[in-house]
Amino acid sequence: MSVLIKGGTVVTADQTLRADILCTDGKIVQIADNINQPGGFKEIDAGGQYVMPGGIDPHTHMQLPFMGTVASEDFFTGTAAGLAGGTTMIIDFVIPNPQQNLMEAYRQWREWAEKSVSDYSFHVAITWWDDTVHRDMGILVREHGVNSFKHFMAYKGAIMATDETLVNSFARALELGAVPTVHAENGELVYRLQNDLFSTGISGPEGHPLSRPPEVEGEAANRAIRVAEVLGVPVYIVHVSARQALEAVTRARNEGQRVFGEVLAGHLLIDDSVYRDTDWGRAAAHVMSPPFRPKEHQAALWKGLQAGNLQTTATDHCCFCHDQKAMGREDFRKIPNGTAGVENRLEVLWHHGVNTGRLTMNEFVRVTSTNAAQIFNVYPRKGSISVGADADLVVWDPEATKTISAKTHHQKVDFNIFEGMTVKGCASHTISNAELVYADGELMVEKGAGRYVNRPPYAPFYDAVKKQAQVNAPMPVKR
Ligand code: URP
Ligand code: ZN
Ligand code: ZN
């Protein structure tokens, strides 16, 4: 299909202008003031609306096998839900079991993702270490378009990476021109606190945040950042939820270190009172890691986003239904960790960010799309509105209102953490690869239409870092 978007105001990370946009063969082919209908193009009336780059959610977990179950949302339903909310690309995670061959896990996730309806890419988690992992990281970067590797510093006894694995993998990422990313929580402390709490009789969801206090996150974020500093590699901290972790990111950035921070829509908007809900199911539905925090952390996170110390927003979309959460009915340590949000990220951030004056519209585009495209090296193909870029666009109606509910969302999960929130500003149309895939509440998606997106490494930058390190190295002393 070819699409002509007429009459809208184009909003990108760096400008706002009146223009029509012509899209065909998957690409944006013309951006101009008054494009005449060339014939055969589906025309979208964007009068009174904004046209922005489609959202990129750099942190999702579709159909993730995790904590004895599998996330209820698969790549088909999850990417469709994303499109309904204006998100046109996700970056999901391949998570090998410890000792599992990396390439085997990668192929498995690629197969699962074939049913995606929007474009997608993968970070690959490093959960263990040996020579084959070292080798396969190279194969993934050089032959499969993977330029980021994830490290879980928590989930002891499952997918947690030890410090040894972290150091080996960060050093390898530097060689390859890839970005290490971390889930920053001290897994040893979490394990200890979980067991202490349980043995004193705390078995309900209220034990979850108590076992993962902000200091546990701050320590791990600081450790990962200092490891990256010593090795000279950039680092990206996923789901920064606590002031202590944000301070570690901010401190390092102020010192000139290349550190990136991601914040979840949920962590910006939901506080820890959800764990004191007397309804077990509702409290358990909010169990995710890191947990929702006391309100003062949200204020800090908004400031971090405004100041540019946090660059991206994500959802960590990882859905478990009520019957899955019930696996931890007697023991909070067994409640599958995860919450949804891929469909709602843009609208809740617009409402609470742009409508409140916390973010300009251009900053909104930056933190929902452009920065992720740049950090993960798919810019300007994604995250921009420019001739030759992928025609992944959202037409945004700033006057539309809706009340978010699990009863009406497209996400395949029976709970919504934003339930009952009324937002002003929503996607009216979503265009993916020059196809109109969502219009006024209706999805028009084709299973498998989404494409795997290769993300090349940053080799020239890393070569330069290595050269600089050689220049800075102390001269050998002659004796
Ligand atoms: O609770 C969460 N976040 N579940 C998904 C796995 C992770 O830690 O990102
Ligand atoms: Zn995580
Ligand atoms: Zn995650």
Q: Please compute the mean of the pLDDT values over residues 38-53 and round it to a whole number.
A: 96
Separation of CA 31 and ligand 2 centre (Å): 39
Q: What is the pLDDT of residues 152-194, one digit of tens each?
A: 999 999 999 999 999 999 999 999 999 999 999 999 999 999 9
Going by C-alpha positions, the residue among 106, 165, 166, 181 that lies closest to residue 452 is 106
Please state whether the predicted TM-score (pTM) of the whole model is above 0.85.
Answer: yes
Q: Please compute the mean of the pLDDT values over residues 261-275 and round it to a whole number.
A: 98
For ligand 1, say whether the CB of 153 is within 6 Å of any of its atoms.
no
Of all protein residues, whose CA lies closest to atom 4 belonging to ligand 1?
A: 338
> Quick one: pLDDT at residue 472?
59
Percent of the chain with pLDDT over 70: 96
pLDDT at 294 over 70: yes
8 A C-beta contact, residue 244 and residue 221 = yes
Go through the chain and tell me how many residues it has: 479
For ligand 1, say whether the CB of 61 is within 6 Å of any of its atoms.
yes
Nearest ligand 1 atom, CA 152: 8
Band of pLDDT at residue 8, cut at 50, 70 and 90: very high
Band of pLDDT at residue 295, cut at 50, 70 and 90: very high
In one-letter notation, the amino acid at residue 284 is: A
> Quick one: pLDDT at residue 79?
99
Q: What is the pLDDT of residues 118-137, one digit of tens each?
A: 999 999 999 999 999 999 99
8 A C-beta contact, residue 293 and residue 340 = no
> Quick one: pLDDT at residue 461?
53
Q: Please compute the mean of the pLDDT values over residues 231-240 and round it to a whole number.
A: 98
8 A C-beta contact, residue 21 and residue 394 = no
> Quick one: pLDDT at residue 1?
79
Separation of CA 141 and ligand 3 centre (Å): 21
For ligand 1, say whether the CB of 317 is within 6 Å of any of its atoms.
no
For ligand 1, say whether the CB of 339 is within 6 Å of any of its atoms.
no
> Quick one: pLDDT at residue 462?
56
pLDDT at 477 over 60: no
8 A C-beta contact, residue 263 and residue 284 = no
- Over the chain, what is the mean pLDDT? 96
Nearest ligand 1 atom, CA 93: 9
For ligand 1, say whether the CB of 119 is within 6 Å of any of its atoms.
no
> Quick one: pLDDT at residue 37?
87
What the block records as the tokens of 459 is 């080799």
d(C-alpha 18, C-alpha 337), whole Å: 44
Count, in order, helices (H) and strands (E) of the chain: 16, 21
Q: What is the pLDDT of residues 87-112, one digit of tens each?
A: 999 999 999 999 999 999 999 999 99
Of all protein residues, whose CA lies closest to atom 3 belonging to ligand 1?
A: 289
CA angle 457, 458, 462 (to 5 degrees): 125
Going by C-alpha positions, the residue among 18, 57, 59 that lies closest to residue 35 is 18
According to CATH, the topology of domain 53-383+453-459 is TIM Barrel (3.20.20)
Which conformational region is residue 407 in: left (phi greater than 0), alpha (psi within -120 to 50 degrees), or beta?
alpha
Q: Please compute the mean of the pLDDT values over residues 322-350 and round it to a whole number.
A: 98
Among 73, 270, 286, 316, name the best residue to mutate to test ligand 1's pocket (greatest count of ligand atoms within 8 A of Cβ).
Answer: 316
d(C-alpha 389, C-alpha 433), whole Å: 10
Q: What is the pLDDT of residues 372-400, one digit of tens each?
A: 999 999 999 999 999 999 999 999 999 99
Residue 418 pairs with which residues in a beta bridge? none
Of all protein residues, whose CA lies closest to atom 5 belonging to ligand 1?
A: 338
Do β-strands 27-32 and 69-70 pair in parallel, antiparallel, or remain unpaired? unpaired
What the block records as the tokens of 192 is 């200890």
Nearest ligand 1 atom, CA 238: 9
Band of pLDDT at residue 464, cut at 50, 70 and 90: low
Of all protein residues, whose CA lies closest to atom 8 belonging to ligand 1?
A: 289
8 A C-beta contact, residue 49 and residue 396 = yes
